[in-house]
Amino acid sequence: MSILTAQNLSKAFGPVDIFEELTFAIPRRARIAIVGPNGVGKTTLLRILAGVDEPTRGSVHRARGLSMGYLPQEAVTLREGTLWSYCLMAFEGLLSQADELKSLEREMQDPNCPPEVLQRYGSVLSRFEHGGGYTYTHRIQQTLAGLGFAETDYQRPLTQLSGGQRTRAVLARLLLDEPDLLLLDEPSNHLDIAAVEWLEAWLRDWNGAVVIVSHDRYFLDQTASQVWEMTPALEVYRGNYTAYLTQREARYTRRLAEFEAQTEYIEKQEDYIRRFLGTQNNNQARGRQRRLERLLADSRLSAPKANIRPMRLRLSLAGRSGDLVLRSYDLQVGYQDEGRPLFHAPDLVLKRGECVAVIGPNGAGKTTFLKTILSQIPPYAGRIVLGASLKVGYFAQAHEGLDPRLTLMEEINRAAPSMLPAEARSYLAKYGFTGDEVFAKVQTLSGGERGRLALAKLALTDANLLLLDEPTNHLDLPTQEVLQNALADYPGTILLVTHDRYLIDALASQIWEMDPSASALKVFTGTYSEYKLAQTSPVQPAPEEAPAAEELSAAPVEAQTPARKTLSRNQRQQMQKKLGALEAQIHALEAESALHEAQLANPPADPRKTAHLAENYNRLRAELEPLLAEWERLATTLQEDQP
C-alpha cells in the first residue's frame, strides 16, 4: 500500500497556474526523483507534500502515523545550541530512557527495593538496548563525518554555522530521525563528492521512502528507481536518470509517430469526404464524416512537445593549438604568504583534444590551481608551460567576469563590440533571454541565469582551451544536458573543475584528484567509471611515466576507440519500441492502481464496494509485476549495451 497519495493536485500563485491536476501515489521504500526545468514547480510540490504549503485545489492523503522529514533548498534558521546538541534531539526518547534507568538504579541500591522496580528496570533496559541506546553517539559521529563535518565542529554554536553548514546540519538531523518518508530538495548542494557518495550509500541501505529534487544527475542515477518529469504535467518513467533519458526519447518518438499517423489518417478521410460527399458514394462519405467527427471530439491527438532546450550552445574555436597544451615541472600550488603550498603535483601533461577533470574536496585548491594556470596567481614553486597557439577561455565559478552593474546587452557587447543590437538580442535569445529580459541588470539574475550568460560570453571567445570552474552549478537539468552535448562536440581541450560526476563520466579522459591529507595531486588516466573501479581494486596499476615534451609535440593524439556494441541498430530499435509499449501499459495500470489506492484510503460505506475496490487493486498489481520485470530486463540490456 502507498504511504502518501495525491488527487487532482493543483497550485496557483494569483492568476498563474504552476501545475494542475496531478494524481500520484508514493509506495513504501520508493526512490523517486522529480526532474524538470527551473520554475516548473518541483520545490512547490515538495512543500505541499511536506505540509508546509497548501494546494489551491486537490488533496494529499497520508497514511496514519506517517512520519516525514523535509529538507528545504534554502538555508534554514536554527535555534540556540551546538551542532551536537541539535543532533541529540533525534534521540530524545533514548535520552529519557537513560535518565529513567539512572533513577531506577538509584532505587535499586536500597536493600528494600520492591520487585516492581526490578521489573520496570528490565523493561526499560530492553527498550533502551533495542532502540540503539549504546550506539546512538556513534551514529551521530558517523553521520556528521559522512556529511563533511570535522570533530572541531561538533561543539560549535548553530548560529556560527554558514548557510551551507546549517543545511547540512538539518540533513544530518533528518537522517538520524529516520522518518518513513524523506522529502529532499537539492540534498547534494553544499556537499563535496565524498559526502555525496556517503549519502548515496546511506539511502541505498535505508528502508524508508524518499522523494528527491536534484540537479545532480549522477546522484539520481545512484539513488532513484523512478523518475517523475514535471512539464508541468507529471510523466512517470521507470529506472534511474540515465534510463529516463532513453525512455523519454523513445516515448517522444513513439508519440510523434502516433500523431503523424493519425494526422495522415484524418487528411485521407477529409479528402475522401470532400470528393464523394453529394455523389453516388454519399452514404459512405456521410458515414466517414460521422466517424471522423467522433474521433476529433474524443480521440484527437495533439503534437508531442519536443524536449525542452533552454539554450542553444555551440562552442567553436578560431584556430588549432599545438599538440602539447600544458606541462608542469616540479609544480607546487599555493600562496607564498601562507608559508606552505596547498599541494604539490607530479609533472603534468595535457594534450590537445583531451578533457581532464580536476576533483577533490572543497578548499583543496582546485580554483587556485586554475588561477595559477591563468597566471593570476604565481606558482608556489616550480613552473607551468603552456603550448603554442593557445587561446584560453575561462568560466569562473562565482562568475567574476560579469559586471553586476551592466545589462545583459552591455555584457554581450563587452565580449563582442562589433555585434549590432539586433544581433545581440538574437544571440541572447539562444540562451533563453527574450523580450525586455535583455535589458535587465546582471545583479538581478538568478544563479542559473548568470551561468547561462557566462556560457554565452564564453562561446564568443572561440577559445581552443577551456578552463571551466563548476560550470553546471545552478543550471537545471535540461541546461546541463545542452552544456554536456556542447562540450562533447567541442574540438578543443578542456580542463574541468567540477563536482558533477555525470559530466565527468561523460567527458573526462584523465582524472586529476587532489588529496588534502597528502597535500598532493594524483593523476589517473581513464574515465571516471574506470577511476571508481580502480579505487575498489586491491592492486592499483603503476602510473605511466610522462613522455618528454619533444615526444609530445610530434605524437598524434589518438582517438578513443568506442566500446563494442553487442546489439545491432535494428535490434536496439526493436527493443526500444517494445520498451515504449511496455511503458505505456505500465503507466496506465499504475494510474488506475493509484486511483484505487486513493479510494481505499477513504473507503466507501458499503463494504461490498470496498471489497470490489480491493479485488480490482490486487488484480492491477498482479498484472503489473510481469510487465515491470520485462521492462527491467529490456532497460538493463539497453543500458549495458551503451557504447
Residue 213, helix vs strand vs coil = strand
Report the C-alpha gap between 102 and 106 in whole angstroms: 6
Grid cell in block for residue 418: 562589433
Report the C-alpha gap between 579 and 49 in whole angstroms: 31
Spacing of C-alpha 466 from chain mean position: 24
Grid cell in block for residue 493: 581541450
Report the C-alpha gap between 626 and 452 in whole angstroms: 44
With beta carbons less than 8 A apart as the criterion, state whether 87 and 78 touch: no
Low-confidence stretches of the chain (pLDDT beneath 50): 541-565
Residue 83, helix vs strand vs coil = helix
Burial class (CB in 10 A: 0-12, 13-18, 19+), 15: exposed
Output the CA–CA distances (angstroms, integers) from residue 107 to 94, 121, 161, 358, in the order listed.
20, 10, 43, 62
Output the CA–CA distances (angstroms, integers) from residue 188 to 53, 196, 573, in the order listed.
23, 6, 35
With beta carbons less than 8 A apart as the criterion, state whether 401 and 433 touch: no
- Which pLDDT belongs to residue 570? 60
As a three-state string, the secondary structure of 225-256 is CEEEEECCCEEEEECCHHHHHHHHHHHHHHHH
Q: What angle do CA 117, 120, 123 make, to 5 degrees?
A: 155
Question: Phi, psi (5° rounding) for residue 63?
Answer: -60, 150
Residue-wise burial string across 533-572, b where 16 or more C-beta atoms lie within 10 A, e elsewhere: eeeeeeeeeeeeeeeeeeebeeeeeeeeeeeeeeeeeeee
Report the C-alpha gap between 462 and 466 in whole angstroms: 10
Output the CA–CA distances (angstroms, integers) from residue 313 to 145, 418, 460, 480, 483, in the order listed.
40, 20, 11, 11, 7
Q: What is the DSSP string of 33-66?
A: EEE--TTSSHHHHHHHHHTSS--SEEEEEE-TT-
- Which pLDDT belongs to residue 547? 47
With beta carbons less than 8 A apart as the criterion, state whether 208 and 181 touch: yes
- Which pLDDT belongs to residue 610? 62
Q: For 265-311, write each residue's pLDDT tens digit.
A: 999 999 989 988 888 888 888 888 999 899 888 888 888 877 666 78
Superfamily of domain 324-391+462-554: P-loop containing nucleotide triphosphate hydrolases (3.40.50.300)
Dihedral angle sign, alpha carbons of residues 37, 38, 43, 45 = negative
**Residue ranges per structural domain of the chain:** 79-160, 244-298, 324-391+462-554, 397-447, 569-640
Q: For 495-504, write each residue's pLDDT tens digit.
A: 999 989 999 9
Grid cell in block for residue 163: 548557510
Span between the terminal Cα atoms of the chain, in Å: 39
Q: Tell me the sheet residues that pair with 4.
A: 26, 62
Strand 181-185 versus strand 209-213 pairing type = parallel
CB-side neighbour CA atoms (13 Å) of 413: 11
